[in-house]
């Protein structure tokens, strides 16, 4: 098993550059922050959380009050957590969809350490490692990528990483949001088509807010000289550009561990099948049912790829240890 307790020393070595969270503790600090936010009347009047800029790190788009206090959503998640058996697990949790998530410790480690090869995702994970706080929609991006968006890894494993590293880490809120983001509970079927079809792109979502990639350049200095047209997809830059930017993809910065278009399509297919099984069994799914579904999904996945995809697109099945930079 991946040991999150061993993160600190390893990450300090890995990140090199010394940078500590800018969020100081204490009530006076929280009151100062609250006062600053609410005295800006125009900001308060126009605030719409889903439209906030997750890449605004020098002046975050939300209050950054979560390390100090918890509001409404806390009460929602606390109440639900109190009344729900096994709230922090998939198994035996009556409000949680049973989904045959994949076990892949290498992929999990790459996500955790900000080495997925997607700068938007990696910068967010580095902000988590260094600052212990990220914007809500940044959390959406990385939680979606790990689970139903790209890697199909269990939300409980992402939850563990957040629990260990967030400075606002909170048992009920964290578990609740991970279930929400992985489409395991809460908002999963609000609209037809189901919510699991709405996947955050690890490229275009961040670009919409921060086309120059300032956020990426700050948290991933290895990409600081990459021209803006390649900053979200550095593997598409010609070698001459990578050389000039002193960042060769596959050597100085990882290649993408999956190709998003194909990986997200595959995830949607798996979610569709898992949802159908949950419906058919009315949520009463045992270990064997899940095992059978996992086997079926893997077999179908392989034959789909074999029948439909030209060789170059098989990249998305590339395992983490096949990426050059991780070969010894
Ligand atoms: C996968 C995932 C895991 C998360 N884990 C945590 C966690 O462990 N602890 C935590 O406090 N928040 C968690 N959140 C919720 C949310 O991202 C943070 O509370 C928010 O980013 C804090 O920033 P802020 O104080 O600037 O928020 P603002 O938008 O300014 O909100 C003000 C306050 O409202 C509360 N709040 C806002 N959104 C949420 C929400 N979705 N759920 C619960 N409370 C909310 C917080 O107390 C916050 O301080 C998680 C979100 C996701 C998607």
Convert the pLDDT of each residue in 278-298 to its tens digit. Answer: 989 987 898 899 999 999 988
> If you search the block for the tokens 């059978």, which residue do you land on?
292
Query: How far does residue 239's CA lie from ligand 1's centre (Å)?
Result: 41
Architecture of domain 91-328: Orthogonal Bundle (1.10)
CA distance 127 to 302: 35
What's the pLDDT at 315? 37
Residues within 6 Å of ligand 1 by CB? 49, 62-66, 69-71, 73-74, 77, 135-136, 139-140, 143, 162, 166, 168-170, 173-174, 177-178, 181
Nearest to 104 by CA among 146, 164, 159: 146
Q: Range with the lowest mean pLDDT among 2-16, 17-31, 135-149?
A: 2-16
Which atom of ligand 1 is nearest to 166's Cα?
A: 8
Query: How far does residue 69's CA lie from ligand 1's centre (Å)?
Result: 10
Helix axes 171-181, 136-144, angle to 10 degrees: 60
pLDDT above 90: residue 326: no
pLDDT above 60: residue 85: yes
Per-residue pLDDT tens for 293-319?
Answer: 999 988 877 656 444 443 333 333 333
Helix (H) or strand (E) holding 120, with range, is: helix 119-131
What's the pLDDT at 220? 98
CB atoms within 10 A of CB 324: 11
Side-chain half-sphere exposure of 47, counting CA atoms within 13 A: 12
Sign of the four-CA dihedral 89, 121, 249, 218: negative
169 appears as a binding residue in the annotation: yes
Nearest to 124 by CA among 109, 110, 139: 139
168 appears as a binding residue in the annotation: yes
Q: pLDDT band for 115, please (50, 70, 90 cuts).
A: very high
Side-chain half-sphere exposure of 244, counting CA atoms within 13 A: 8
pLDDT above 80: residue 191: no
Query: How far does residue 269's CA lie from ligand 1's centre (Å)?
Result: 30
Nearest to 138 by CA among 234, 244, 54: 54
Query: How far does residue 34's CA lie from ligand 1's centre (Å)?
Result: 15
What's the pLDDT at 141? 97
What's the pLDDT at 303? 59
Query: How far does residue 64's CA lie from ligand 1's centre (Å)?
Result: 9
CB atoms within 10 A of CB 307: 7
Helix axes 260-280, 287-308, angle to 10 degrees: 140
CA distance 73 to 173: 8
Q: pLDDT band for 186, please (50, 70, 90 cuts).
A: confident
CA distance 213 to 210: 5
pLDDT above 80: residue 72: no
Which atom of ligand 1 is nearest to 52's Cα?
A: 29
Quickly list DSSP for 7-43.
Answer: HHHHHHHHH-S----S---SHHHHHHHHHHHHH-HHH
Question: Is 32 within 8 Å of 192 (Cβ atoms)?
Answer: no
CA distance 103 to 157: 10
Instruction: Map out the domains of the chain as residue ranges.
Output: 91-328
State the average pLDDT for the chain. 86
321 appears as a binding residue in the annotation: no
pLDDT above 50: residue 189: yes
Give mean pLDDT, residues 205-216: 97
């Amino acid at each position: 098993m991946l040991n999150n307790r061993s993160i600190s020393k390893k990450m300090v070595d890995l990140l090199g550059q010394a940078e500590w969270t800018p969020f100081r503790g204490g009530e006076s600090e929280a009151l100062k922050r609250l006062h600053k936010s609410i005295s800006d009347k125009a900001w308060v009047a126009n605030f719409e959380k889903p439209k906030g800029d997750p890449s605004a790190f020098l002046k975050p788009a939300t209050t950054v009050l979560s390390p100090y206090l918890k509001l409404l959503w806390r009460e929602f998640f606390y109440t639900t957590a109190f009344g729900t058996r096994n709230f922090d697990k998939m198994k035996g949790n009556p409000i949680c969809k049973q989904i045959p998530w994949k076990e892949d410790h290498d992929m999990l480690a790459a996500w955790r350490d900000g080495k997925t090869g997607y700068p938007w995702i990696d910068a967010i994970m580095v902000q988590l490692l260094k600052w212990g706080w990220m914007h809500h929609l940044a959390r959406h991006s990385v939680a979606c990528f790990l689970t139903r968006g790209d890697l199909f890894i269990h939300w409980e494993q992402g939850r563990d990483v957040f629990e260990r590293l967030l400075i606002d880490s909170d048992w009920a809120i964290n578990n609740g949001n991970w279930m929400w983001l992985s489409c395991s509970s809460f908002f999963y079927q609000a609209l037809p088509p189901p919510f699991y079809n709405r996947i955050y792109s690890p490229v275009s979502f961040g670009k919409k807010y921060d086309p120059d990639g300032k956020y990426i350049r700050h948290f991933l200095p290895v990409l600081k000289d990459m021209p803006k047209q390649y900053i979200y997809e550095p593997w598409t830059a010609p070698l001459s550009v990578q050389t000039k930017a002193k960042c060769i993809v596959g050597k100085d910065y990882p290649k993408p561990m999956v190709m998003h278009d194909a990986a997200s399509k595959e995830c949607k297919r798996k979610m569709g099948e898992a949802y159908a099984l949950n419906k058919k069994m009315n949520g009463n799914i045992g270990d064997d049912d899940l095992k059978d579904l996992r086997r079926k999904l893997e077999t179908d996945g392989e034959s789909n790829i074999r029948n439909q995809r030209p060789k170059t697109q098989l990249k998305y099945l590339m395992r983490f240890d096949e990426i050059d930079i991780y070969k010894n």
